[in-house]
Structure 1
Amino acid sequence: MAHCVTLVQLSISCDHLIDKDIGSKSDPLCVLLQDVGGGTWAELGRTERVRNCSSPEFSKTLQLEYHFETVQKLRFGIYDIDNKTPELGDDDFLGGAECSLGQIVSSQILTLPLMLKPGKPAGRGTITVSAQELKDSRVVTMEVEARNLDKKDFLGKSDPFLEFFRQGDGKWHLAYRSEVIKNNLNPTWKRFSVPFQHFCGGDPSTPIQVRCSDYDSDGSHDLIGTFHTTLAQLQAVPAEFECIHPEKQQKKKSYKNSGIVRVKICQVETEYSFLDYVMGGCQINFTVGVDFTGSNGDPSSPDSLHYLSPTGVNEYLTALWSVGSVVQDYDSDKLFPAFGFGAQVPPDWQVSHEFALNFNPSNPYCAGIQGIVDAYRQALPQVRLYGPTNFAPIINHVARFAAQAAHQKSASQYFVLLLLTDGAVTDVEATREAVVRASYLPMSVIIVGVGGADFEAMEQLDADGGPLHTRSGEAAARDIVQFVPYRRFQNAPREALAQTVLAEVPTQLVSYFKAQGWAPFKPLPPPTKGPAQAPQA
């Protein structure tokens, strides 16, 4: 098993940010990156954007694993967000800071000056980061509405939003900020979940202040009213609280309230982590598919992507080792099915898109990653590279076993398919159909692009901009594809590629089991293995 680590949660605030917007304050967001070696920084997460604020306190915390034995270099970047695109290159940089996670946890609260570049401070801007060990997997889930709120806007109704603050160290700390509901005096906000520790410091009797305000685009929000409570009181649903505006209460004897806030749902639930599932016995079944199409070039030529160097390696094997060496820790028997696609295979030399690398369709398993490497080296001179580049057959193959696992209705198995390919997929529509169907199953697909081809079609499968759709309009249940070009990591440490392509798998695994409502599986006798059979070519 992989080494189990502690999760820490970072709370972030900034002061005295420089203003990039003309006539108003910036709309800052914080992005967190970690040094993964070789000069590569991987994004770990982002806070929400806070509008028109030069000293924001971000309500969204960022989580990461803490490894005592490793210097974990972190980079915080503050950006002024003026559009809806996820890329940050077109947003103004307000400053950044670098430190190690060890510095943060040993300082408890660490304040650093923001820098525009080395030696150039971002004005008086600072960032303050505090860490909290996540020992508690509980979350507070709430649904809140309000009635008869005061009208604050001259030409329309109020645009209300809520903020929840917990008391600690003699201060009020922001725990959650809701969305704004436009032009509505009787709003119902979206259901939300906040980590239990972050919401009340782990104590249901901790004082909680709730503020209801009228949103203004210039950042000068008007208070509608406030009230004090505790999580214990909030849980007595349906609970109603009078929203009180202190100044109005003092001025008018006839003043009653500025509206009623009603808590429809308030539950403390357990939110399971990736480690909860893995430590609960979930097996991650790793399958490999290798591209043997003609575009790779003659394996005997040094120009071929399949050419084995004097040391016996190439890009395919390096990528396989990088990803496989991490994933194999989560599979107890270390037996991995490995397939090739796009080649003519003996004895009848028919083109196959899912032939067993060991040429044993009834038992395509290889012992460990080295077993896959050995099978690949032995298969290479025995097949004829051909085409086309079809992904759907192997994706559907693994999906059949994932569907069998799903019928067990337990979080006992998850499937990860690694596809190593040199070019654009040919069966685009069939692959989209296969990926969308697989998104409803316990599986993820990792695609590593080998060589220098145009991989634009692959980027479409990695649906970071929105759900993947089939031609008929069916949407994927979740994003299960992660694509990276190998050459982006060619000069980086071997672990950098694995860290990037596997970064989304824990979230994908948890999102699937959470959607099914399945708690971590408790170990029973070993599950039946899959994929177990490759059809005859």
Structure 2
Amino acid sequence: VSILNIKTDGNHDFIGEFTTSYRELSRGQSQFNVYEVVNPKKKGKKKKYTNSGTVTLLSFLVETEVSFLDYIKGGTQINFTVAIDFTASNGNPAQPTSLHYMNPYQLNAYGMALKAVGEIVQDYDSDKMFPALGFGAKLPPDGRISHEFALNGNPQNPYCDGIEGVMEAYYRSLKSVQLYGPTNFAPVINHVARYASSVKDGSQYFVLLIVTDGVISDMAQTKESIVNASKLPMSIIIVGVGPAEFDAMVELDGDDVRVSSRGKYAERDIVQFVPFRDYIDRSGNHILSMARLAKDVLAEIPEQFLSYMRAHGIKPSPAPPPYTPPTHVLQTQI
């Protein structure tokens, strides 16, 4: 162990060193854990030199490094919510140029992104029942604009069965709502945040998946929502579809500069942005491109999850014992 005199200019002075072991340290505070700090250069030059001081162990603590999977094995539930952009900037669904084009023969841009990303994330959701929301559309029968409507038409129970259920509800909604605007992210972020704020004990963690063309109208409000959500057990994945530049989405991602609002910075980085077009494999190797997509979509979730648990001192619950089938005694008659 090296001992340094730390200086603010970076030119630290080497005081000396000593040797110990885990076994010695594990004895705790005792006569065995008092060490002479020796500088080899001084020892070689100065005959009267004995040491540069001593180090005494006052306490010893071993902390186990826990992983994302330790929490999952211990029963923490991951809850995914899907939110889809129904704004007019996506183009008229009746036109082939629209990202929401209702093509009877193949999936549109949103459908491809939903299926690809949804099939990746649904394995992390314990019950595979997804609340699915839309934003930026006029709803029947009165044409009111909504920024957090249930895709299945049931606001009291917006859950869809698996990603296939989300896809069905999405295509049904396309036939009944009118694409409109503006593109507001804050309402769906706040929607999930309300649930996340009620479960802070580590038993649940919430992930919001937003699929969008990247045009955003409420940047200031969205940043404020992200800053507030950074205190909660929550992450946000934004999947960008279409040819936009996505500068605003990159800014929300916060990898280079942490998102801030009204002078307050997000406590954690909770946003991951991926442009879907980067994963459409032109060579036809669909499996390879989806593997890359899976890696990048989920790349930051485990660390974001762990950063929340660490910040709140939440340890994983012990994993239940493995299931052992009952043994049947075979009885024979003689």
- Normalised by the size of structure 1, how large is the TM-score? 0.55
> Are 2:2 and 2:17, in contact at CA under 8 Å, matched by a contact in 1?
no
**1:258 to 2:86 alignment:** no
Deviations 1:65-84 (A, max 9, x none): xxxxxxxxxxxxxxxxxxxx
Q: Label 1:246 to 1:454 Cα distance change in 2 as closer, same or farther (>3 A).
A: closer
4+ runs deviating over 6 angstroms: none
**1:506 to 2:302 alignment:** yes
Which amino acid is 2:101 matched to? Y
**1:463 to 2:254 alignment:** yes
Q: Label 1:272 to 1:431 Cα distance change in 2 as closer, same or farther (>3 A).
A: same
Aligned match of 2:241: 450
What secondary structure sits across from 2:63 in the alignment? Answer: strand
Match of 1:477 among 245, 258, 267: 267
Which amino acid is 2:10 matched to? K
Structure 2, unmatched stretches of 5+, are: 282-287, 321-334
Aligned match of 2:292: 496
Aligned match of 2:328: none
Q: Label 1:256 to 1:276 Cα distance change in 2 as closer, same or farther (>3 A).
A: same
Hey, what's the Cα distance between the residues in 2 that align with 1:145 and 1:475?
36
CA RMSD of aligned residues (A): 2.4
The 5-angstrom pairing of residues 113-192 of structure 1 reads 182-183=10-11
What secondary structure sits across from 1:460 in the alignment? Answer: helix
> Are 2:91 and 2:100, in contact at CA under 8 Å, matched by a contact in 1?
yes
Match of 1:275 among 41, 55, 69: 69
Aligned match of 1:433: 224
> Are 2:89 and 2:215, in contact at CA under 8 Å, matched by a contact in 1?
no
Aligned match of 1:86: none
Which amino acid is 2:217 matched to? T
Hey, what's the Cα distance between the residues in 1 that align with 2:183 and 2:177?
15
Hey, what's the Cα distance between the residues in 2 that align with 1:433 and 1:247?
56
Hey, what's the Cα distance between the residues in 2 that align with 1:467 and 1:447?
16
> Are 2:2 and 2:16, in contact at CA under 8 Å, matched by a contact in 1?
no
Q: How many angstroms does 1:282 deviate by?
A: 1.1
Q: Label 1:323 to 1:259 Cα distance change in 2 as closer, same or farther (>3 A).
A: farther
Higher relative contact order (CA 8 A, sep 6+): 2
The 5-angstrom pairing of residues 41-440 of structure 1 reads 182-183=10-11, 213=14, 224-235=15-26, 236-237=28-29, 239-261=33-55, 266-406=60-200, 409=201, 411-440=202-231
What secondary structure sits across from 2:198 in the alignment? Answer: helix
> Are 2:29 and 2:59, in contact at CA under 8 Å, matched by a contact in 1?
yes
Hey, what's the Cα distance between the residues in 1 that align with 2:318 and 2:111?
35
Deviations 1:293-319 (A, max 9, x none): 001111111100001334331221222
More helix by share: 2
Hey, what's the Cα distance between the residues in 1 that align with 2:39 and 2:84?
66
What secondary structure sits across from 1:511 in the alignment? Answer: helix
Hey, what's the Cα distance between the residues in 2 that align with 1:510 and 1:490?
31
What secondary structure sits across from 1:228 in the alignment? Answer: coil
> Are 1:273 and 1:510, in contact at CA under 8 Å, matched by a contact in 2?
yes
More strand by share: 1
Hey, what's the Cα distance between the residues in 2 that align with 1:477 and 1:427?
21
Match of 2:312 among 513, 516, 534: 516
Q: Label 1:390 to 1:240 Cα distance change in 2 as closer, same or farther (>3 A).
A: farther
Hey, what's the Cα distance between the residues in 1 that align with 2:53 and 2:94?
78
What secondary structure sits across from 2:16 in the alignment? Answer: strand
Structure 1, unmatched stretches of 5+, are: 1-143, 150-157, 161-179, 186-212, 214-223, 525-537
Hey, what's the Cα distance between the residues in 1 that align with 2:57 and 2:223?
42
Hey, what's the Cα distance between the residues in 2 that align with 1:523 and 1:268?
21
Hey, what's the Cα distance between the residues in 1 that align with 2:269 and 2:34?
39
What secondary structure sits across from 2:172 in the alignment? Answer: helix
Q: How many angstroms does 1:520 deviate by?
A: 1.3
Q: How many angstroms does 1:522 deviate by?
A: 5.4
Hey, what's the Cα distance between the residues in 2 that align with 1:334 and 1:229?
51
Which amino acid is 1:459 matched to? V
Aligned match of 2:329: none
Hey, what's the Cα distance between the residues in 1 that align with 2:218 and 2:193?
17
Which amino acid is 2:300 matched to? E
Q: How many angstroms does 1:267 deviate by?
A: 1.6
What secondary structure sits across from 1:405 in the alignment? Answer: coil
Q: Label 1:230 to 1:405 Cα distance change in 2 as closer, same or farther (>3 A).
A: same
Hey, what's the Cα distance between the residues in 2 that align with 1:261 and 1:297?
70
Q: How many angstroms does 1:460 deviate by?
A: 1.0
Q: How many angstroms does 1:332 deviate by?
A: 2.5
What secondary structure sits across from 1:306 in the alignment? Answer: coil
Hey, what's the Cα distance between the residues in 1 that align with 2:29 and 2:242?
59
Q: How many angstroms does 1:245 deviate by?
A: 2.6
Which amino acid is 2:277 matched to? R
Hey, what's the Cα distance between the residues in 1 that align with 2:45 and 2:90?
81
Q: Label 1:486 to 1:263 Cα distance change in 2 as closer, same or farther (>3 A).
A: farther
